[in-house]
Structure 1
Amino acid sequence: MAEQKQQPPERRVETFRPQKNVLELYGDSEIVKRALGEGYHAILVLDAEDYYSYNASPPALLHHLEGLKGADAKFPCHVFFLHLTTQASLDPQLRPGTKVVGVGPLSLAHSLIFNTALLNTAHALYIAIPPPSTPPTPPTSLLRLKGTAVNSSDQFRSFHGHKFRIVSMDWFPFLSFTRDSNAAGTTVTPRDSLDYRMLTAAAAVLNFTYEMRVPLDDQWGVSLDDGNWTGTVGTLQHQRADFSMLLSWMSSRLQVVDYTRPYITEPLVIVTDKAGPLPQIFALVRPFPGMLWAWVLVTTMGVGVAKWALHMGWRWASGGEGREMSFSSALLSAWGMILEDPLPRLPTNLTSQMLVGWWWVFCMLLTTAYRSSLVAHLSVPDKSPTIDNLEQLLGQRGWTWGMEGTYGIGWEWFRKSTVPTIRKVYEKIQALSAEEHLSRVLRGHHAFLTWKYYIRTLIASRYTDVRGFTPLYIGRTEYINYGGYGWGFRKGAPFLRRFGVMQQRMVEAGLVKHWMNDLIIKASREARTANKMESTTDMQEGRGLVVLGLRQLQGAFYLLGLGSLAAFTVLVAERLVMELSPRMKLWN
């Protein structure tokens, strides 16, 4: 109980120990003086657990009371008793669990109940003492909710039409709105989105209204060197709003804002243009990988050498019987069989016949597999490699990348990461709007680093044609396990728990997941009916019959040209050798 007098008496702090004798601890009276102002006599009531934790030590207790000097959210005071004869003046903001009881004339009730120190106070009771000439009146119980006095018997079950101040950023499908003006920090009109559906449901149950604004700097919020934050986080930090819509969980932000439990998570992904078909000049060799082609080459040469060696060995063993076979003829016959050119005559000895027979079986299996694979590759050309992670992105020459300039958790993650790959990406990151990023992506050699559900709905609503085709590709690797999205509240807000309970009920009932899927499907459906984009060649490929043309078979013409050039080169080389060698001239 604190009583204001004309002349401040000696300050005294007393601690009551339950079911024990009263222990009086006399200490620095300036502690209470700085906390409550001049002219107050105070008694601080602590519970038994707090009392025993300090071992009834006056210095320790007085050191614990230093929390009164500022807005310390951890100050464990449970009840403030104030006896008022003049207007109350409290400096620190009390924690939500602290109860305030005031006693005084009815004219001073407003000065206590609406005091700024009670901004986060959930329970405030003022007992009005009537003048001696009037009959006694019953105590009046008032609950302070940002300027609205309501009965505390139904606390937070209904906010009785109280208007909350909300701050947030546009981030569809989570939240979408229309700005009411172009001014900084303007009010906005929400549109159909996930958080708007959740807010509408909560407002209907809890009976409140709201005014929604954007942060003055249009940012989510990053930390500054002086301990302050920008954007939405900074707005909550300085108590210029009661709560925000979606806000990413970050341990560093917990120092300045409170959160509800996460209701959804959203990873960071890489968006690039969809892979196009590879050049058809190499279509003839793509049916087999490089290692298989190398084994075919080595095996064919080995069979040619084995055939020549077996034939020469048989002639030596039979005393020169049979026709002589040159080494080049043996190699060419092996290549001829693999190209489905049969031998003009079979070998006369049984050993060579066995080799040729099994080699012919191998060639039939190989050419059958190659032919079927070639038809598939010519009908549906292979695509260029996609970019699925940051390592692949760094390996691309001449590529650029960036994020939106909203400076939220994504920027904070890149800025504070010590991973070399992430640091290299951050050094070249560009801050542009989503439209500009996606425009560069469509032109090629650019990647957009953004959030999964946000970009899915953006692609479905703006970059998908009537047949469901989109030229954009979302990488498979997902980054940043930051804990998810919750609603952010100013520090110490007494209504945080009530909103958290309502939000958790929506999650457990499956409404959040249902609404998210419905919004994505709705955006895709609207895009397919509204957009009139024409189908591209990539979309048409693979549908129905494909007529092979010069584009698919250009590799064969290139191979013919290459072979003709090689034959001409050999012809010129032979001619030069014949001209330069006297022995060859004599033989001719």
Structure 2
Amino acid sequence: MVFSTLIKLFLFYHLLHGCDAKLSPIIKDLHESKDLQLVLIDMLNGQARRHDVTCVVVICDTVYLNVFDGAMFKRILSVPMVMIVVEEYEDLLSPNFDTLESLREARMDGCNIYIILLANGLQVSRLLRFGDRTLFADKTSNLNGEALNVVYFDHAPSVVIMKMNDSSKVSGVEIEILNTLSQQMNFKPKLYQPNNIEVHKWGQKLANGTFSGLLGEMVNGKADVALGNLQYNPYHLELTDLSIPYTSQCWTFLTPEALTDNSWKTLILPFKLYMWIAVLLVLLITGIIFYGLAKYYMNLQELKKEKPFLESNKNIEKQEYVFEPSEKPVGLYLFGEIINSILYTYGMLLVVSLPKLPTGWSIRLLTGWYWLYCILLVVSYRASMTAILANPAPRVTIDTIKELVDSKVTCGGWGVETKKFFEKSTDETQKIGDRFELVDEPFEAANKIAKGVYAYYDNKDFLKYLSVKRKNSLINVDKAVNATINDTDIVSTDTERNLHIMTDCVVNIPISIGFHKNSPLKPLADIYLARIVEVGLVEKWLNDAMNPIRVQETNENEIKALMNLKKLYGAFIALAIGYILSLIGLIGELIHWHCVVKRDPQFDKYALDVYYAKNKKQ
């Protein structure tokens, strides 16, 4: 073995001796100062004097190759040395055949000192990982039933605690992942929660420098694994080792809904503003056209009565014009005055038939086509009105960050780091950080949201869980006290806003499982976790965790086509407006009768027809 090592040393020595000293310009200054050579000489001579060096393996690249020249070998004690020169493009996590055989041969020869001089840090890290995997057996593949402390925090859908009588069952996506890892790596998870977990939750840094909650268990080394919807961010990475993310969650706000009480506008809702403007314009224009045509025919009839003789071809002949019954001015009084014309045109729009069919083919044709227009318009209005009365009242929701910023509602969430995230933002979300409040209890935040003054920040699945839990708890309370509660109390609960999850995501955050720093469990756990994600088990477990929440979710107004008195407010308002206008008109007529008509010297209450006939002529 010693002889083969010496042969290797001799060959590498001649190889180095024949190399150009100026092979690498990067090491030129270092080559001239000999600083690195002196360090290596002192280190090797110091080890050799203690007689515990059997062989030295030097792994370097072309950058550091010039360090090992003939002068260096003359100044070190007689120590067998193996030189391995790797290319700059070689992946040392999976070395090529020559490098691998050299390392194996050096190991068989008993070399116990390895000197690594590589300019590429990535190559060094991958070589160390390869050496660790080659020299040391992986003991995490089978932990032989070892008990591992697993700290957890209840946060859907990662970890869900279900109360059953006096006991509780822990489930969720991360619990299923933990069970799979325990089977593959053969360990027994010992689940526990820290003291005062309801108060400290994930935990934060205290005044004395320690950490509380779930993170405190990891920092203090009391737990091997942490479950609790840990975000893959620099803050958590600084305190723990995180597995590869097994999912990505949409983090957004739970906001209040605003009911739009527009029942008083029911009559005008079927059409938009521009449609109503078009309808009114058509009504006025058509009424004016009817009035113009009626006046034309009335003037034509008068002209025919006054001039019974017609001129034709410059020869004046006296002819007597005979009126036929069909040409009598029947129905022209309907449109003879502008006010009557507008009213009867409006009556046709409301599908009220005319008392008489007017004279004149032009008016008749216009009446027919206007009736077709009125029928189409009324049918559209009725269909839209039916849909409005059948559907529930529309709700105003906050679905974008801009709408949340403009709403001025107070925002909140858990943890100082969350507040810093918004405060350090460079876009409009920074305004949210200015009014962001820290919240320790999400259900209290949900109560404030129901009052319409708050918005709570978390992942979408947990916000759905929070909304459904609160809604069902209120339903259960109402059922329990239904026998003693009065009507006024019931009405007070109706004034609360529904909870709405904002559609837009503020950020999509990867979620991981936590391990304590430099945990040997993480590399193999990452491999198994990647396989779990690839086969779709995480998605399946997520659906299983959220399925009870979806089952408990109760949809409001399941019977959509439900009429109530509130939806007819618009009709009553229109009726009230009509009564008020009619009353004003009646009062005006009475004032005119007593203040104008009765004070006229020509007024005779016993001959009103004569009085009105004289006024009409005037």
1:205 equivalenced with 2:212 (yes/no): no
Q: CA deviation at 1:240?
A: 6.7
Pair 1:231–1:290, CA change in 2 (3 A):
farther
1:428 equivalenced with 2:435 (yes/no): yes
Which deviations, in whole Å up to 9, do the C-alpha atoms of 1:331-357 show, x marking residues without a partner? Answer: 111111112222222221222222221
Which deviations, in whole Å up to 9, do the C-alpha atoms of 1:297-344 show, x marking residues without a partner? Answer: 222112112222233344556665655611111111111111222222
SS at match of 1:392: helix
Rg comparison, structure with higher value: 2
Pair 1:453–1:26, CA change in 2 (3 A):
same
Q: Partners of 1:161 and 1:307 in 2: how far apart?
A: 97
Q: Partners of 1:54 and 1:228 in 2: how far apart?
A: 48
1:247 equivalenced with 2:257 (yes/no): no
Asked whether the equivalents of residues 464 and 501 of structure 2 are also in contact (C-alpha less than 8 Å), the reply is no
One-letter amino acid of the counterpart of residue 574, structure 2 = L
1:516 equivalenced with 2:531 (yes/no): no
1:302 equivalenced with 2:313 (yes/no): no
Q: CA deviation at 1:393?
A: 3.2
Pair 1:395–1:240, CA change in 2 (3 A):
same
Q: Partners of 2:434 and 2:57 in 1: how far apart?
A: 56
Question: Which residue number corresponds to residue 194 of structure 1?
Answer: 173
Q: Quick one: which of 384, 390, 394 aligns to 2:401?
A: 390
Q: Partners of 2:152 and 2:401 in 1: how far apart?
A: 30
SS at match of 2:249: coil
Map 1:41-440; keep pairs closer than 5 Å: 47-49=59-61, 52=63, 56=67, 98=128, 152-164=136-148, 166-176=150-160, 191-210=170-189, 214=194, 218=200, 220=202, 242-245=224-227, 246-250=229-233, 257-273=240-256, 276=259, 278-315=261-298, 320=303, 322=329, 325-396=336-407, 399-403=409-413, 405-407=414-416, 410-420=418-428, 422-432=429-439, 433-440=441-448
Which deviations, in whole Å up to 9, do the C-alpha atoms of 1:90-124 show, x marking residues without a partner? Answer: xxxx9897489xxxxxxxxxxxxxxxxxxxx9579
Q: Partners of 1:358 and 1:580 in 2: how far apart?
A: 45
Indicate the larger mover: 337-346 or 251-260.
251-260
Of structures 1 and 2, the one scoring higher in RCO (CA 8 A, sep 6+) is 2
Q: Partners of 1:32 and 1:300 in 2: how far apart?
A: 105
Identity of aligned residues (%): 21
One-letter amino acid of the counterpart of residue 295, structure 1 = A
Structure 1: runs of 5 or more not aligned: 1-15, 59-75, 84-93, 101-120, 126-151, 180-188, 529-534
Q: Which has the higher helix share?
A: 2
Q: CA deviation at 1:168?
A: 4.8
1:562 equivalenced with 2:577 (yes/no): yes
Q: Partners of 1:540 and 1:254 in 2: how far apart?
A: 47
Q: Partners of 1:263 and 1:18 in 2: how far apart?
A: 52
Which deviations, in whole Å up to 9, do the C-alpha atoms of 1:392-415 show, x marking residues without a partner? Answer: 334447x44422x2445x545323
Q: Partners of 1:31 and 1:395 in 2: how far apart?
A: 70
Asked whether the equivalents of residues 275 and 385 of structure 1 are also in contact (C-alpha less than 8 Å), the reply is yes
Question: Which residue number corresponds to residue 609 of structure 2?
Answer: none
Q: Partners of 2:387 and 2:560 in 1: how far apart?
A: 10
One-letter amino acid of the counterpart of residue 527, structure 2 = V
SS at match of 1:447: strand
One-letter amino acid of the counterpart of residue 384, structure 1 = R
1:506 equivalenced with 2:560 (yes/no): no
Q: Partners of 1:584 and 1:304 in 2: how far apart?
A: 36
TM-score where L is the length of structure 1:
0.64
Pair 1:418–1:123, CA change in 2 (3 A):
same
Pair 1:586–1:318, CA change in 2 (3 A):
same
Q: CA deviation at 1:198?
A: 0.8
Question: Which residue number corresponds to residue 457 of structure 1?
Answer: 465
Q: CA deviation at 1:500?
A: 0.5
Q: Partners of 2:301 and 2:58 in 1: how far apart?
A: 116
One-letter amino acid of the counterpart of residue 426, structure 1 = G
Structure 2: runs of 5 or more not aligned: 1-10, 18-30, 70-91, 94-102, 114-123, 305-328, 477-495, 604-618
Q: Partners of 2:380 and 2:423 in 1: how far apart?
A: 52
Q: Partners of 1:451 and 1:96 in 2: how far apart?
A: 37
SS at match of 1:539: coil
Q: CA deviation at 1:369?
A: 2.2
Q: Partners of 1:17 and 1:213 in 2: how far apart?
A: 60
Q: Partners of 1:97 and 1:240 in 2: how far apart?
A: 32
One-letter amino acid of the counterpart of residue 299, structure 1 = V
Q: Partners of 1:296 and 1:342 in 2: how far apart?
A: 19
